Each structure stands twice: as C-alpha cells, then as structure tokens.
Amino acid sequence: MAENVYEGLFLLDSSLYSRDPSGVSGQIDKFIEKQGGTILASRMWDERRLAYPIKGQRKGAYWLTYFRLEGTHIASLTEECQRNGNILRQLFTSVDPRIVDQLVSHATQVPAAPPVAPSEETPPGAPPEEKSEESSSVPAATA
C-alpha cells in the first residue's frame, strides 16, 4: 500500500509542554515512527487560550507535524494519541501530493521576527539619533 502525506495538528497540555517541551513534543514523533511513519516537519505552531476547557485545561499548545504514513495506520495512531495524557486533541488531514513540498518548506522555515516600528522616543541610555542634512526637513540656508 502507498504511503500518504498527512498534516497532524496536536493540541497539547500547555502546562506540561512548558515544563518539558522536547519530551512532550518528542512523543508525537515517536508515535508516528512506531506506526512506520516518516516525519517531514514537526514544530510548535502556537500557544493560546482555549475557547472552552478541554480535559480541565484552559490553555493549549498547538504542535504541527507533516508526516508520511500508510493510511491504514491512522486509526491506531489516533488511538495512541487518545491514550496519551499530554495530547488533549489531534486532527489528521491528508495532504494533496501537489502541495506537499510547499507545505513542508513553509513549516520548516524559522518564523521571522515581527517588524519593529520606529519610535519617537529614544530608550533610556541610548544615544540620540543624529539627523543628516539630507534628511532634515529644514532647508539649508544659502548665502
């Protein structure tokens, strides 16, 4: 049987994840590999407050994984995740083969830092900015 590419989104217990990030997220990779799957990309997606409590938790860490696995093993992977106390919920979707490379490439990129808006005030202890004559809004005096 041919292997398909799947996207797995896991909702993790945020408090357990913050105590042991590599241990909690590493279990996901182990579960997939135990079923004969291959990890293509695996990373933290987001951490946020939940709309309603799930298993008593009000905050969750979302872990995104792309992997190859035979479709017949998805049911046993789901059962394995449901038995694990660190995983609150999981969702598996099959990925269209035409967009696998783009999704995996995007997932493996390091997120860029958000742009910093220039501020009018200089932080304490920082030297004041010098304005060049070209950027000055006052025209230069001519003789």
- The answer to whether residue 47 is domain-embedded is yes
The average pLDDT across 24-46 equals 94
- The answer to whether residue 75 is domain-embedded is yes
DSSP state of 37: -
Four-point Cα dihedral 70, 75, 81, 83, nearest 10: -140
Residue 139 C-alpha from the chain's centroid: 50
List, for residues 77-114, the tens digit of each pLDDT value: 999 999 999 999 999 999 999 999 999 988 888 666 66
Closest CA to 104 of 38, 60, 48: 38
pLDDT at 24 over 80: yes
The average pLDDT across 40-56 equals 94
Range of the domain at 12: 3-108
| CA angle at 21 for the pair 16 and 24, rounded to the nearest 5° | 65
pTM of this structure: 0.73
Residue 10 sits in a domain whose CATH number is: 3.30.70.60
- The answer to whether residue 116 is domain-embedded is no
- The answer to whether residue 31 is domain-embedded is yes
Which residues make Cβ contacts (< 8 Å) with residue 49, sequence separation at least 6?
58, 59
Residue-level pLDDT at 108: 87
Mean residue pLDDT across the chain: 84
- The answer to whether residue 79 is domain-embedded is yes
Pairwise CA distance, residues 139 & 133, whole Å: 9
- In a 3-state reduction of DSSP, which class is residue 73? helix
- The answer to whether residue 50 is domain-embedded is yes
Helical (H) or strand (E) element with 22: helix 21-34
- The answer to whether residue 140 is domain-embedded is no
Residue-level pLDDT at 142: 52
Domain count, the chain: 1
Residue-level pLDDT at 128: 55
- The answer to whether residue 101 is domain-embedded is yes
